[in-house]
Amino acid sequence: MAGMIDQVMTFFQGMGLLHLTWGNIVMIIVGLTLAYLAIRYKMEPLLLLPIGISAVLVNIPLGNLVNWPVAPNLPAHIGDNIFAMLGYLNQHYGPPGLFDIVYYTLIRTEIVPLLIFFGLGAMTDFGPLIADPKTALMGAAAQIGVFIAMLTAIALGFNLHQAASIGIIGGADGPTTIYLTTKLAPEILGATAVAAYSYMSLVPLIQPPIIKALTSPEERRIRMEQLRPVSKREKILFPIVAMITIGLLVPSAAPLVGMLMIGNLFRESGVVERLSKAAQEELMNIVTIFLGLGVGSTMRASSFLTAQTLMILGLGIVAFATATAGGVLFGKFMEKISGGKINPMIGAAGVSAVPMSARVVQRMASEEDPGNFILMHAMGPNVAGVIGTAVAAGVFLAVLG
């Protein structure tokens, strides 16, 4: 009888319900909220749904899905040696949980973010940028949001590594944000990733008020000349020249830009259609699942429910808003020097939320003039923004890494 009572007591003591904290409850609600937004409003559902559900799971006590810390204090001699890191963690924290394996072997090693860039390259048409190279300047101008948010973060007390990771949110590029944060400040990965993907989904709400505040109806009605046709040879040469040039100038950006351009070369070469299709579909789907699960696993109550997280979410808005403003203001400058031939709104597409921000610009142009079609012109700074954000991340790694 006593043995049965002991067994019953052991069962009840092993119930997660008895170990649930207020922090766990809050994070479970946060995770369910992200999942709801993904399902009900289709806000970046491919990422926010797995992030939200995995955030729920890792906050269930005694679930053993995560046993290792997100940002452990490792001995200096381990450095970035992933095998030494895994051995140290296993020795000091016990066997890994499922999400520990996903996070440390696929996210922490940067494998998944880089493969995401490979898939993005296979899905991207750089034709509008090649046809009108000067639009790349607007993609570069939009990166001012990265540096404004970074400086603001430093002013609020974040260290340089954290500030750089927060600033890169302004590039509106989730994989780059994850890649840089994993290298520089893994302890805030959950907050920066959620901020990046949440605000990317809110681009149609964030950008229009800023664009309207900085442009006049007359400027928004400017029609642009049709882009010239781009030859297949140009499309093949572009990724090759871009990866070599950027790799030589900013070697630390070579992994991101290199994978982006390899994927694009697969697309444009026309000789590896099976590989290009696999990169766009099967591979992209698989790595997106692991990316969401890995990021969500970092959203534990102990590390996520902090004042820092709220500040990061607020700074994400600053980064997006200033990036949009920077692109539009530079677009206005180009409109002046071109004699009114450039619609300044396309500068807002310099944030690398492809193709969402370009579509926002087209919708606003159509509202002012139903016959105005500037989508392809906006795609120039849009895809340039992807490259610009990767280069900015490379600069941060070169200086801080």
Q: Indicate if the pLDDT at residue 305 is higher than 90.
A: no
> What sign has the CA pseudo-torsion 269, 273, 276, 277?
positive
Question: What's the pLDDT score for residue 152?
Answer: 94
Q: Indicate if the pLDDT at residue 5 is higher than 70.
A: no
Instruction: Determine the distance from the C-alpha atom of residue 129 to the mean position of all C-alpha atoms in its chain, rounded to a whole number.
Output: 21
% of the chain exceeding 70 in pLDDT: 96
In sequence order, the 6+-apart residues with CB closer than 8 A to the CB of 34 are 48, 49, 51, 52, 55, 194, 198
Better pLDDT: 360 or 174:
360
Question: What's the pLDDT score for residue 28?
Answer: 95
Helices (H), 82-222: 82-93, 98-102, 111-123, 127-131, 136-141, 144-155, 160-167, 174-184, 189-201, 203-214, 217-220
Q: Indicate if the pLDDT at residue 79 is higher than 80.
A: no
CB 50 within 8 A of CB 289: yes
Question: What's the pLDDT score for residue 62?
Answer: 84
- pLDDT-derived band at 17 (thresholds 50, 70, 90) equals confident
Instruction: Determine the distance from the C-alpha atom of residue 349 to the mean position of all C-alpha atoms in its chain, rounded to a whole number.
Output: 16
pLDDT tens, position by position, 212-258: 999 999 999 999 999 999 999 999 999 999 999 999 999 999 999 99
- pLDDT-derived band at 7 (thresholds 50, 70, 90) equals low
Question: What's the pLDDT score for residue 14?
Answer: 62
- pLDDT-derived band at 352 (thresholds 50, 70, 90) equals confident
Separation CA 140–CA 250 (nearest Å): 15
Taking only Cα atoms into account, the Rg of the chain, rounded to an integer number of angstroms, comes to 23
The mean pLDDT value of the chain amounts to 92
- pLDDT-derived band at 50 (thresholds 50, 70, 90) equals very high
Separation CA 203–CA 372 (nearest Å): 21
Instruction: Give the pLDDT mean for 286-300.
Output: 94
Question: What's the pLDDT score for residue 122?
Answer: 97
Q: Indicate if the pLDDT at residue 120 is higher than 60.
A: yes
In sequence order, the 6+-apart residues with CB closer than 8 A to the CB of 79 are none
Closest C-alpha to 293, from 14, 13, 55: 55
DSSP for 281-344, written as a single string: IIIHHHHHHHHHHHHHTT--HHHHSSHHHHHHHHHHHHHHHHHHHHHHHHHHHHHHHTTS-S-G
Question: What's the pLDDT score for residue 38?
Answer: 93
% of the chain exceeding 90 in pLDDT: 80
- pLDDT-derived band at 336 (thresholds 50, 70, 90) equals very high
Instruction: Determine the distance from the C-alpha atom of residue 383 to the mean position of all C-alpha atoms in its chain, rounded to a whole number.
Output: 14
Q: Indicate if the pLDDT at residue 12 is higher than 60.
A: no
Question: What's the pLDDT score for residue 10?
Answer: 63
Q: Indicate if the pLDDT at residue 11 is higher than 80.
A: no
